[in-house]
Amino acid sequence: MGYDRPDDHPYPDDLAPLLADHVFPALPAGSRAFDVDAIRGCFPALSNGTAYFDGPGGSQTPTVVADAIRDALLRPLSNRGNTTIAARNAEEIVVQCRLALGDLLNADPDEVIFGRSMTALTFDLARTLSAQWRAGDEIVVTRLDHDANVRPWVIAAAAAGAIVRWVDFDPATSELPVQNVEAQLSARTRVVAVTAASNLIGTMPDVRAIAALTHAAGALLYVDGVHYTAHHAVNFRNLGADFFGCSPYKFLGPHCGVVVGKRDVLAELRPDKLLPATDRVPERFEHGTLPYELMAGTTAAVDFLTAMTSSAGTRRDRLVASMSALGHHEDTLRQRIEAGLHQLPGVTIHSRARQRTPTLLITFAGRDAAEISAVLAQNGINAPAGSFYAYEASRRLGLGEAGGVRVGLAPYNIADEVDRLIRLLAENVR
Ligand SMILES: Cc1ncc(COP(=O)(O)O)c(C=O)c1O
């Protein structure tokens, strides 16, 4: 592997080149379309033959991401600063990670808040935002969202005496119409929390339209982009959201969370913080010492996504091109799964929205989803069953806690795996 390791490179006096173009040895350079075989070669976990359709829960990890984490830890590393190489390495990791996430999401590096998980960051931001709420203020949440973008707001509202307004989706179409959000807005609305894509059924609401309505009502928009970011290029500047959360472990990176927030909105907020900790944005939103190794891994994941295809321009340009090729790859496979499922008796696909990610929630007449998922697992196919913390959505679909089998796609999935999945289901749902 070409990644420069500490053992074959003496440490330079200036900043070590922690992450550079050469982190993708397994993907040949030059003009390159989306080459799924080359991409698969970068994931050691695929070597056991397992078909991973559990990407929406967490993706597999390419070697370069693991290497970046390892190298960050094995190089000289200390708290951030500029006096020693160790301090400068830490500083450089943070700078590079904010730049990478800025490119990934089309946000400014100083709008990037790094944290333990999207859930933890959302709890923190809900507490901070709700400090400004008064009794009788209103917040808007949806029944489509993962609970990480519901409960923090509901809990904060209860503490502030604010009213919770619920936006419903249509189980028949899987759609969350913009009008349903509009109907819950008022002059008292302070925050609207909505997903960019459902991790249960893939629905992608029209976030831009929701942002316009939210702002017209004088409220802030908090978008859960955890599921969306794994499948589409995000354009935070263009989206109109005030906050957008994502989780690197869903897009080939390590287990951590990120929220970007508009600079002028962040400037107004006063999160709880330690007295000696900096008051700068975004650092004042990041409690304690940053996880440098996870930040290095996150940068490597962004670079890996960027390098899935080869095109010209800035990293942002190349990333957008790469994500578009990924979208085409995943869409083709999704259609193949759907065509196969439609041939099977007693199968219901609950993912029906016009705009959706390649994430299919499936139930089987007279069969437990968990039982089907276990059969798949015994045959080397990972497609778990459940409601996946989309607590309200699963209930709204009438599926309760049991939910369904979720088949989700990631960059490394291939047609052969889809065919194995359909064959196995055909043998088991007759
Ligand atoms: C759509 C969605 N939102 C939020 C989360 C929570 O993310 P985290 O694990 O970073 O807290 C998940 C995790 O599965 C998710 O799928």
Per-residue pLDDT reduced to its tens digit, 57-116: 999 999 999 999 999 999 999 999 999 999 999 999 999 999 999 999 999 999 999 999
Which residue bears the tokens 């369904």? 404
Please name the helix (run of DSSP H) or strand (run of DSSP E) that holds residue 261, with its range, or none.
Answer: strand 257-261
Testing ligand 1's pocket by substitution, the residue of 199, 231, 249 carrying the most ligand atoms inside 8 A of its CB is: 199
Minimum-distance ligand 1 atom for the alpha carbon of 117: 10
Q: How far is the CA of 418 from the centre of ligand 1 (A)?
A: 25
% of the chain residues with pLDDT over 70: 93
Residue 391, SS3?
helix
Residue 112, token pair as written in the block = 């990037």
When pLDDT is cut at 50, 70 and 90, the band that residue 430 belongs to is confident
- If you average pLDDT over residues 167-193, what whole number do you get? 98
Q: What distance in Å separates the CA atoms of residue 60 and residue 39, rounded to the nearest whole number?
A: 12
414 CB-near residues (< 8 Å, 6+ apart)? 36, 40, 333
Q: State yes or no: pLDDT of 10 exceeds 60.
A: no
Cis omega before residue 56 (within 30°)?
no
Instruction: Please indicate whether residue 18 or residue 182 has the higher confidence score (pLDDT).
Output: 182
**Ligand 1 close to Cβ of residue 231 (< 6 A):** no
- If you average pLDDT over residues 203-224, what whole number do you get? 98
Q: State yes or no: pLDDT of 27 exceeds 90.
A: no
Minimum-distance ligand 1 atom for the alpha carbon of 121: 11
- C-beta atoms surrounding 398 within 10 Å: 9
Q: How far is the CA of 98 from the centre of ligand 1 (A)?
A: 20
Q: Whose CA is nearest to atom 15 of ligand 1?
A: 226
Instruction: Please indicate whether residue 312 or residue 158 has the higher confidence score (pLDDT).
Output: 158
Question: What is residue 51's DSSP assignment?
Answer: E
Q: What distance in Å separates the CA atoms of residue 422 and residue 416, rounded to the nearest whole number?
A: 10
> Backbone phi, then psi, for 398, in 5-degree steps?
80, 20
Q: What distance in Å separates the CA atoms of residue 425 and residue 352, rounded to the nearest whole number?
A: 20
**Ligand 1 close to Cβ of residue 202 (< 6 A):** no
Per-residue pLDDT, 388: 98
The rounded mean pLDDT for the chain is 93
Residue 18, token pair as written in the block = 């922690």
**Ligand 1 close to Cβ of residue 257 (< 6 A):** yes
Testing ligand 1's pocket by substitution, the residue of 101, 150, 223, 227 carrying the most ligand atoms inside 8 A of its CB is: 227
Q: How far is the CA of 351 from the centre of ligand 1 (A)?
A: 18
Q: Whose CA is nearest to atom 9 of ligand 1?
A: 117
**CB-CB contact of 316 with 89 (8 Å):** no
Per-residue pLDDT, 22: 39
- If you average pLDDT over residues 316-337, what whole number do you get? 97
| pLDDT one-digit tens code per residue, 156-166 | 999 999 999 99
The CA R_g of the chain, rounded to the nearest whole Å, is 22
Q: How far is the CA of 411 from the centre of ligand 1 (A)?
A: 19
Q: State yes or no: pLDDT of 21 exceeds 60.
A: no
Instruction: Please indicate whether residue 348 or residue 19 has the higher confidence score (pLDDT).
Output: 348
Q: Whose CA is nearest to atom 7 of ligand 1?
A: 118
Minimum-distance ligand 1 atom for the alpha carbon of 388: 14
Q: State yes or no: pLDDT of 354 exceeds 60.
A: yes
Q: What distance in Å separates the CA atoms of residue 212 and residue 345, rounded to the nearest whole number?
A: 43
Q: How far is the CA of 34 from the centre of ligand 1 (A)?
A: 27
Residue 82, token pair as written in the block = 């500029």
Q: State yes or no: pLDDT of 20 exceeds 70.
A: no
- If you average pLDDT over residues 397-404, what whole number do you get? 96
Minimum-distance ligand 1 atom for the alpha carbon of 228: 1
Pairing of strands 359-364, 404-408: antiparallel
> Backbone phi, then psi, for 167, in 5-degree steps?
-105, 130
Q: How far is the CA of 223 from the centre of ligand 1 (A)?
A: 12
Minimum-distance ligand 1 atom for the alpha carbon of 197: 1
Per-residue pLDDT, 391: 97
Which of 122, 83, 114 is closest to 97 using CA atoms?
A: 114
**Ligand 1 close to Cβ of residue 117 (< 6 A):** yes
Residue 202, SS3?
coil
Which of 375, 422, 384, 379 is closest to 200 using CA atoms?
A: 384
> Backbone phi, then psi, for 337, in 5-degree steps?
-65, -45
Per-residue pLDDT, 3: 27
Q: State yes or no: pLDDT of 14 exceeds 50.
A: no
- If you average pLDDT over residues 231-248, what whole number do you get? 98
Per-residue pLDDT, 33: 87
Per-residue pLDDT, 208: 98
Residue 409, SS3?
coil
% of the chain residues with pLDDT over 90: 91
- If you average pLDDT over residues 194-221, what whole number do you get? 98
**Ligand 1 close to Cβ of residue 119 (< 6 A):** yes
- If you average pLDDT over residues 223-233, what whole number do you get? 98
**Ligand 1 close to Cβ of residue 118 (< 6 A):** yes
Testing ligand 1's pocket by substitution, the residue of 54, 117, 118 carrying the most ligand atoms inside 8 A of its CB is: 118
